[in-house]
Structure formats: structure tokens, C-alpha cells
A and B are shown apart, each in its own frame.
Chain A
């Protein structure tokens, strides 16, 4: 079921299995039939660990969503709350528990905190006089969730906001804990590099935790050679840009949630012969997207302009395979053909799906609006006229295009200009407030706090230096047969990935100057390995680096790292970890504040 997790160089299924084992153990602790009351936010991440079937095997008969009031009736022995440790959720639980009908057969209550217990929450339950009602109060340590064969995510949406706007480093604590769990399973990571305040903080906590657990050191040969911690605010530019890989575009346009995307159903209608298309499905089409699907694994990281060719090539291969049946003469040959049939049929339906998806996306990418937007983005990234008010943005505001689109563009201009002139900045802000409403003054304030939008303080704009040193803009990006990571944005090479690339070769010392221009400290730490665990590297064996993006990573960045892993002479395999998979839109959304007016 989760075979795709074990394909990669690092078998991430170990992590998933460990998580599943913990879950089973907890469920068995509550003997008898059970109902689970879910903190809705958790259902997505849990889906990556266990399907309903696993819960069912352990006598989970009912599932509810946590909401205030009374619990729905359920004839079960145990009621288990699966929740994040948040005070507002505790209040709901207290309400649920205290409004329980005392006359009915008594039920056992349990709480499972994800990812860890909280004294604060337990205190709150105590104040509400319900703490004693719980038989088990436990924690389910789910920090890093295996997302794909080379990808781990904490699915912690608010991490960026908490870290950079609210100075709340809870997510970083979970990150450090998660990395400790990872090291318990995959061995101590001997080298740690990092850039950014949060990275520094995580590394510090890791080193301290290692000291705390001294002695319980595991004797596992390290799987990872290097850990690279990167703050999202080191590279604010990349997520603002529109991703141009296949997967990136799916996410930009339709949004991928916990590995699933919902698409408009029209294109997926199964038209059989003689059947009119009058009963079109109305439910959105839900597709799971991961490397378990062979075709998707092949095309997900391609520049969208290369996807068409790949699909038609695949179509030819598949129909050729089906043609094989005419060549099958002997019983043995026919038998072999038949045995391949399920695989071929799966491939064919996968091809049909992705052809439809590609058509949907193409409708958008070929539109004027998309093209104009992209042109402006690329102008900013190449440094064209970033210091004055941009006409396109003005027009978009005047036409009341979605606010997030505007915010993405304005922030991008600010980042590419190392801040905007006060006059330009105020102009944009006024335009936004007058057009979209004055309540957005809070969002604008947040953007300034997060460094996405800022007035130019020094007269010197260092973005061009960074761009040139790190070769962030490649004039002739090859979209079909890429030779550089810049293909993922059709010209722009993501800064974060350039840093990763340079670290591997020739090393950060070569770019000291640029590193100093980017926010936060950069550092290197070594973790002592127990004697006898030093890897003896085979000739030509690749090194493995875990790149951790604190505050989110985009699919295009992942594509770029996968591209680097596949480059023959790179000698480096990358595994990616992040607090959350993001794109410009989902990211900006977490930074926005939108008070609802109560006025009648």
C-alpha cells in the first residue's frame, strides 16, 4: 500500500511503519469498541499514515468531527479524542464530555494529543473539571510524516506565520524532535549545515537533545550524510513565483492537499459509445498524486511545456504494448501478455487521467492573463523596472483581480528590489486598501513583519548581486531537456536550491559575501558518531543530504532537488523535509488576517 515510500534511496516506509505501530499500540490500550472524535485538521495528515481499514481492525466503529455541543450517540465502549494541543479545542472537548448523558452506560474517554502532550492543555481540562474523566491521556508523536519516497512533511501549516510573525517557535521544537526521531531510526546525521535564525534554533535544540539522550545512542549506520536546514525567509522570492512544473502547476491552480487534488469533473467524464454526455458527474474528481503512479513519477517534475511530448510518447508506448497481442502466438506468449494486462490497463487509465489534467492546465497557461502575469514576474526576477509602480499591477488592482495575486506580485517586486521606495510602497498599499477594503491593513502589516514587503532602507539594492553570483536567472533555460534547475521556473533558478547546490559543490565558502546579504546566520555543526559507525564509502556511491525547509517548500523546489539527485555527476541524493508543502497562494493565505465585521 505504501510501496512508493520504499523506492527511494532512503526507505521512508520504516518511519511510516513506526508511526503505524505506535497508533496500533495506543488503540489497543483502549480495549473494546471505539469511536474517534477528530480534530478535523488531523484527518489529512493521518490519512498518510493509516487508512480507515487499520482503525477498523482495532475496533474503531465510528468517527466524528470535533465540534461543540453534545457528542453524537455511539454505542461504543471508548470515545477517543484525536486532537492538536490547543486550548480552544480543550474547551470543546470539555463541553463534549460534561454534556454527556450520565444515565447511559458509562463510556471511557481518552485523549490522544498529536504531536505531543501539553501541560497547558491538561491544566485547562483540569480547570474545566473534566481531566479526571479521561482514562488515558497520551501523545502520538507524529512530527515528520512520510509524504513520498523522498519527501517528508510535518503538515504544519502555520509554521511560517508562527516563526516569523509571532515569534512562536513551537513548530521548531517539533521539528527538532522530529529530526531526533528520524535519527533514532536512520542513524545520527554527522554533518549539519544551516542558514537562518530558525535553522540555528533547530540545530541548537538538536544538539542539546542529543546531549540529553547521551548514552541511549543508537548503533545504526547513518543513512544521511548531511542535514541542511534552510529558513524560508532566506528565500522569500521562490514561493512567490508561479511554479512551472507539472506538479507545481497542479498545485498552483487546483491545490494539492495531503497528496490529493480535486479537479473539475467535466474532463473526466467516461464517455462510452452511444451514450450521451448528459449525466456529467458533478462531484469533483479526486486524484491521489504520488510516485506510486509510474507515469506521474515520470512527468511530475517536468516543465509543463515538456509534458505534452512526454504524454504522447507514453501513449505510443502503451498502444504499442497493446498491439503486442497480435504478435502473441504461442500459449506461453499469450499467457505472458495476459499477465501484463492489469499493469497496462492501469497505465492506460493513468495516461487518460493525466492527459485530461494537462488539458485543463493548458487552457490556463495559454491564456493572456497567465502570460501577462508570468511576464511581469520574470521582469521582476531579472530586475527590470523594479523600482517604480508597475502598470500591470495597477491594472490588475483596477480590475479587482484576486487580492492574493496582487499581494504575490507586489511582494515579489519588493523582494527583487530589496524593498520598495516609500512612495511606491505607500501607493500600492493605498491601492489595495481602497480597492479590497481597509481591513487588509492588518495583512499588510503582517507582510511587512515577515519581510515580504518593506520600505527600502539602504539605497543599495543587493538583489542583482545575489542574482548574478548565484546565477538565479538563466537566459536560455531548456525546458525540454534541462541541464540546470532553472527549468522549473523557465529561467529562474530557485535561490534555496542554488544554496543547496553550492553547498554540495564547491561549498559555501565560495559565496560568503552573498550569504551575508541573506538574513540570518549560516553555520556548520558536526555530530560525533559512535566508534565503528563511520561509513566506508564505496567508489562512486552517492552521498545523501536531507534538506529541511523551515516554513515550507514548493513543488518546483522539490523538482529542482530531484533534478539535482538525478544529475549523473552530482554525487548527491536529496531527501526533502518541510513543515508544509506550499505555493505562493496557500502561503500568503496563512499570513493574511481578515477580521469579519460584526456590524449590522
Chain B
């Protein structure tokens, strides 16, 4: 194991190491020469555009896309315009910035997605240089044009072009420039001869990095660290300035003793770096310059490309790929020669243990005496994370597991998680998958994104395997993979709609969280409407299907799905849409086939569009509702004549609806209205709007008996009600004699208790008494009680031997009526005996 440190190079008080990563490409003759190269961060794909300057149709540039492990994904001749720059987005899409300012987007498999333009004026002035950059907002593109103007798009998925202010004195392109994100603002830093500027949305500010006096010369190259925290500047005198990217602080100035401008310059640091460094590359030399002033030199014999990562630099040439990084502190602790760190001791102890040597015990004792065993386990686990070699990982994890046995109450979580994660990482690092992620990168990237990346590469089974292995809830894991798979599947042109729909349904089934509408939307996007409709059928959420169906102009289906969802608001939405889309006849016809939608639309019209309501009823020959409509409408009329004419329409409709009763009743209403108006005109009676009953009451109170009589006959009032009417009116007017005459006019159809009641209502007991005797036997007791004659009531009740009546009388008796109570009680007893 001692040779682990063989590739360690000291730099200041830290060490740097170069680890070989799997690389299986073998680029033809020219290697990386004469090519535009874009290699994505986080072990992303690599794109090469060979000989981009070729223009003739007979020999076109070739675009090649590889996995990070060098496996070729695709390769095709570039038929569009001349390309200035290529770069990858955070979602593994390739951006090709053309000279004319248009940016073409391809996916990992080289299929064209879409394009956008960096502005019309660029077509004239042409793009001189372009850069693709990443920020919390997504992937952005920056260009500098022939007219020396910078244009930025911060997020290509939400395209907003920003033309930056002019840079004074700049002609053509600047000597060097870069884009960075600071305080949620995207800025450009550029150098032009001896001058340096910071460009933001509104201003162009000349700047002077602290400690970089003019004697060091002009800045000819610059780079910013992965986190946008540090900036390094290379001057034409061979000096390297490093400092904070806000240009407030200087870290150091190192003399590289190389006057030529490096081909590439990249920061090499990691979270919690001990010794930051900048990697500079010339044709034959790779120089690691630590900010302490120390340097490490590596010879280069083949053109290569540097890819800055979160925790190091990947160096790619035509045959190999290396990861250059600072050795993490925990690995130093464990592997440094003669280290006495607890982790180092534990690793040694385990090694002895495997050899069955008692030294294992001595080492363990030593760690335990310092009570550092927990720390030792932790160190081993952590170090395993940073090692790329599976054997080294294993020996560290075994040591950790060994140490764990001697600890009580030690949570195994960290250990278990690490084993799982490393297993996943080792799998994806494999050449066939080609994602050379370090553990630090993996943590930063998150598992979610890793799965996305696998999905972009169409490693669906592996992605699902990993989701299951790491026990991610289906919602975030398997379902997402399936969704992507299905969206991809629907684009397969060689399969029939049926075959695809069936395949999707079988695989996706009812996986939670997979939206068939999303998949269908994809199919529709690809012009496969029929397939989209088939897929929508699997969508459980009817509501989700509606917007897409509307978009596809399947409004009939959209309506029935909306109805099916039960969401009335959705139904309304479709109905409103249809109303604007279709002509009225078709619209009504469609509603007719959807009763639920029709009733909802009626409701809508009742509140909003009365006129339409009428048309709707008309169309359906719904005479009953039409009649009701006219009835309601009649009340809105201000003039009697119009009201009568509207009512007449109601009558006609009622007749058509064969609702004889309602027709007659409405005719009656019209008759009453006419009568009221006539009498109002003649006598100013104020009758209009009263009910028939109220009208007659008023007439009686005005003494218009003849008119009352007329209404009684005309409207065929039942005798009973007529009697009540007259009775009440007379009592109210205290016409007691009239009342008595009336009572004798013929046998009362409402009995005589009513007479007693109305008299009592007018507090006329003596009049009331007159009618008590005429009351039927059943009502006698009650009549007596109404006039407050308990004794009479008691007599009547006793005579009728009715227990409940006697009870009723009893309940009215107060203590003063003890004689009566006595009598009643006795009567009850004797009545119950019989």
C-alpha cells in the first residue's frame, strides 16, 4: 500500500496527485488538434467539432459526441453555418454558437432540439468569440461581436438578451475575457491591452486588481474558479496574479518564467483546499502553480484539454484522461508515510489482523487509549470516499468495519451510506457508463441529478436499478426514469402508434407520479396526435387531459373528459373555449350531447347571459323552461303592457309544454293584473302587484263588495277561503251584526270555531260566545277554552268522556280551580273504568 503516495507531488504544505481515469478513445491521426472541444463538468460528455473552419460542401466539419470515457455516441457532418464555440448545458445539451449569432441546441445523441439567436445585429457584425457559462439560473451564453459589443443570455431556457454597455477603446475582440456570477449578477471581466474592465448590465468600470502594478505588463489570459470565488490573471511578462474575483483581495503573484500565453489556464481547488493552485498549459508543459509560489511541472507530449471541476482538473488528451487534484486532508492523514493519525493506525491494525498478527491488538489498544477509535472509523470511511481505486476503497472500508466492532453505540449510518454510494459511483465510473464523478462531485450534484444524467444517456435500466438500490421513493426515482423513458419512446419513428402505446402502458403501468398527459404532450410535439390521444386514455386524472386535448383541437373529447373529472370549473373552461371556437349552432349541438355541461352552461347563462338562455331552451324545444324563463323575465318589465305580452309568451310555452295548469294560472295572473290596473285607475286602490287574496282583502276593507264578489266568481275561489276572507274582514272592521247575519246566511263551510277564533282575535268575548254553541261536538271543548271558559270546556269534555280532552283542560287549570280539577279527575277515573 505504500505506493499509494507514489504519485503525490508536494505543493507548499499540501500534496497534489494525478489519478488516471478510464479512457477508451483513440482519436485518429490529428488527435485534439484543429478541433473545437467542449467537455462538460461533472464528468459530462465531450463534443469535438473537427476542423470547424472548413466551409465547402464537399468537406464539412465533423461533429463528434463522446461519453466522458471516450465511447462514441454519435458523429455527423456539420451542415449549418460556421461555428465559433461549442459548450454543454447543465442538462447535457450541446450549444453550438454560430458566427451569425444563432445558437443551435442538440441533445446528447446529436439530434437537433431547437435554436435561438443572440440578436439580429449579430448577423451583420458576426460573433468573434463566445462562451457558455453556468450560474444558479441555468446555462448562459455570452458573445463578443465584430463591433466589440458583448451580449449575454443568462438562461437559455428563459431567453432574455442583454446587450452590455460599450467598452471604451475596444476594437475587435479583447485580449482576454470571461463571464462570472457575483451577488446574483452576471458580469464580464475583460482586458484590453494594459486596461481591465468590469462590465455589468448598466456600466463599464475600469478596474485595477490590487497588487498588479503596470510593471507586470498587460493581462493576456484569465480564468475564474469553479465557484466563481477566485480569479487568476496571466500577464505578458509571465506573471500569474491570483485573488478574489471581486478584485478586492490579492492572494499572490507568481512568476512562471514563461512569456508565452498559455493555451489554457484553469483553477485547481477543492472545498476546504489547503493550497489553491492554477493549472497552466502550454504546448509542451503543464504547470501547477500554487498560490504559495511553489510549482509542479508535468511534461506534455500531446495536445490536451483541461476541464475545471469542483475538486480538481480533468486533463484529457487523445489517449488518456487524468484527474489532477489536491490530496484531501483525510487521505493525507491516513496514507502519509509514518502517519500516526487514528485512521492510519486502524488501517494498519486491520492489515495485521488479516495477517493474524497480534500486532493488530497493539495498534487497536493504542487508538483506544486515546479514545480515538470512533474518529479512526470515521477517517477510514471518509478517505474511502475520496479514493478512486476500488481496492483501496475496500481496504479502507474493511478497516472501518473492523474498528466498528470494538465500538458500542456507534451509528452505522455513515458507513452503510458510504458503501452504497461508492457502489453506485463505481458503477457509473465504469467505462460503459462513463461518468467519472468523484464523491465530492456526486454529493454536490445530488442523486436526483445523477439519475437525470443517466436518463439523458438513456441508461434507463441502470437508473431504475440505482433508484431501487438506494431506496428512493418511487415518486422521485423510478417514476421519473419511466417518464423520461416513455417520452423518449414516443419519438421512435419506426414503431406504430399501437406498439408504442402498448409498450408504454406495460412499462409505466400506474407508476405513481407519471403523468400520461406529459408523455402524450411529447407525442403531440413530435406530430403524433393519434398516439397522444391513445396515451391520454391511460391518464387517470381526467382533468390533466383537458388542456392538451384542447390544444390538439379534440374539443369533443376534452369536454367529455372534463365532465368525467367532475371538476365543474374545468367543464366551464372547456365550454367557454368551445363557445369561442364553434359557431353557435355547433356549440349548442355539442352541449346537447353533454347534459352535465349543458346544465352548467345554463347556470352560467342564468347569471350572465339571459338572452342566450332563451336561445338554448328554444333550440332544445324545452317549452317548460322557456315558459319559466318568460315568467322570470316578466318581472323585470317596468310597464304593464310589456309585462302582459311577456306573460302571454309564457302562456303559449306552457301550452306547448302541455302544462295546462300553469298556462291557466298565468292567464289568471294576467287577468288579475288587468283587473288591478283598471281598479287602480278608477279608484286609486293601489292593488297592482298584490296577490289575489290580498287584492280581495283590500277591496273588502274599502267596502267594494261587488268587486270582491266579482273576483270570487271570476277566479272560482273555493267557498272555504271566501268565507274565511269575509269573516276576517268583518271581524277586523268590528262589523259584528254583519258577521252574525253572515253566519246565518247558510251553513258555514269552515265550521264555527273559526268565528269564535276571529272574534277572540279582536278581543270580543261576548261575540265569540255566540258561536260556541254552533260549534261541532268535536270542537266544543276547544271553543270553550278559546274564550277562556274552563268550566264549559270541562263540561263538554266530561260529557264526551274524552280522556285527552279532559287532560287538555286540566293542563290549563290553575291551583285556584281546585273544584274543577277534582271533577275532571273523577270523571277521568270513571271514564277509564268503562
Binding site for B on A (CB under 8 A): 85, 87-88, 116-120, 123, 166-170, 172-173, 176, 201, 204-205, 208, 211-212, 214-216, 368, 394-395, 397-400, 426-427, 429-431, 433-439, 441-442, 445, 593, 595-600
Contact = CB atoms under 8 A, between A and B. Distances in A.
A397 B721 contact: yes
Contacts of A599: 635, 637-640, 643, 688-689
Contacts of A399: 724, 728
Contacts of B570: 119
A598 B636 contact: yes
Contacts of B542: 208
Given A168-B568, A400-B693, A394 B721 contact: yes
B635 A435 contact: no
B624 to A, nearest CB: 8
Interface stretch (B3-11, B373-381, B509-517): B509-517
B595 interface: yes
A426 B665 CA distance: 10
A201 B566 contact: yes
B635 A437 contact: no
A581 B692 CA distance: 35
Contacts of B608: 87
B662 interface: yes
A46 B540 CA distance: 33
A168 B603 contact: yes
B423 interface: no
Given A167-B599, A398-B725, A441-B631, A214 B566 contact: no
B782 to A, nearest CB: 8
Contact of A436 (B640, B688, B691): B691
Contacts of A204: 566
Interface in B572-613: 572-573, 576, 595-596, 599-600, 602-604, 607-608
Contact of A212 (B540, B672, B691, B692): B540
B569 interface: yes
Interface stretch (B326-334, B483-491, B712-720, B763-771): B712-720
The main secondary structure of chain B at its interface with chain A is: helix
Given A437-B690, A439-B631, A593-B632, 17 more contacts: A120-B569, A123-B573, A166-B602, A168-B599, A169-B596, A176-B566, A208-B540, A208-B565, A215-B512, A216-B513, A395-B754, A398-B750, A431-B721, A435-B721, A439-B635, A441-B631, A441-B666
Contacts of A173: 566-568
A398 B669 CA distance: 19
Given A201-B566, A214-B540, A398-B721, A441 B603 contact: no
A593 B631 CA distance: 11
Given A214-B540, A434-B691, A170 B568 contact: yes
A438 B566 contact: no
A441 B665 contact: yes
B596 A435 contact: no
Contact of B475 (A170, A211, A216): A216
A429 B569 contact: no
B628 interface: yes
Given A398-B724, A426-B661, A598-B636, A169 B566 contact: yes
Nearest to A445: B628
Q: Closest 6 interchain pairs by CB?
A: A215-B512, A398-B724, A167-B599, A595-B635, A438-B669, A437-B691
Nearest to A397: B721
Nearest to B660: A426
A120 B665 contact: no
A598 B569 contact: no
20 contacts: A119-B569, A120-B576, A170-B568, A176-B566, A211-B540, A215-B475, A394-B721, A395-B750, A398-B750, A400-B693, A427-B718, A433-B665, A433-B691, A434-B691, A434-B717, A437-B690, A441-B662, A442-B632, A595-B636, A599-B689
B438 interface: no
B735 interface: no
A123 B576 contact: yes
B22 interface: no
Nearest to A167: B599
A398 B540 contact: no
Given A205-B566, A214-B512, A597 B635 contact: yes
A509 B415 CA distance: 60
A201 B728 CA distance: 52
A444 B779 CA distance: 33
Q: Which size class do B's interface residues fall under?
A: 35 or more
B451 to A, nearest CB: 17
Contacts of A429: 661, 665
A168 B599 CA distance: 7
Nearest to B808: A371
Interface in B664-696: 665-666, 668-669, 672, 688-693
A445 B654 CA distance: 12
B654 to A, nearest CB: 9
Counting chain A CB atoms within 10 Å of each CB, the highest count among B595, B688, B693 belongs to: B693
B479 interface: yes
A439 B668 CA distance: 12
A151 B468 CA distance: 43
Contacts of B595: 167
A394 B540 contact: no
A597 B687 CA distance: 14
Nearest to B647: A438
B572 A598 contact: no
Contacts of A445: 624, 628, 662
Interface in B17-73: none
A156 B602 CA distance: 20
Contact of A118 (B512, B569, B728): B569
Contacts of B649: none
A394 B720 contact: yes
Contact of A215 (B474, B566, B568, B569): B474
Given A118-B569, A438-B691, A595-B635, A215 B599 contact: no
B541 interface: yes
Contacts of A212: 540-541
A285 B638 CA distance: 42
A400 B693 CA distance: 9
Given A170-B568, A438-B672, A599-B637, A430 B573 contact: no
B750 to A, nearest CB: 7
Nearest to B635: A595
A425 B669 CA distance: 19
A526 to B, nearest CB: 18
Contacts of B599: 166-168
A543 to B, nearest CB: 29
A150 to B, nearest CB: 28
A127 to B, nearest CB: 10
A85 B569 contact: yes
A216 B514 CA distance: 12
A167 B596 contact: yes
A173 B562 CA distance: 12
A399 B761 CA distance: 12
A441 B567 CA distance: 33
Given A395-B750, A430-B665, A434-B693, A598 B637 contact: yes
A378 B675 CA distance: 41
Contact of B691 (A88, A169, A435): A435
A397 B722 CA distance: 11
A429 B692 CA distance: 14
A88 B512 contact: no
Nearest to A170: B568
A287 to B, nearest CB: 29
Contacts of A430: 661, 665
A314 B283 CA distance: 103
A211 B509 CA distance: 12
A593 B638 CA distance: 20
Contacts of A118: 569, 572
A215 B572 contact: no
A201 B566 CA distance: 8
Contacts of B690: 437
Contacts of A438: 665-666, 668-669, 672, 691
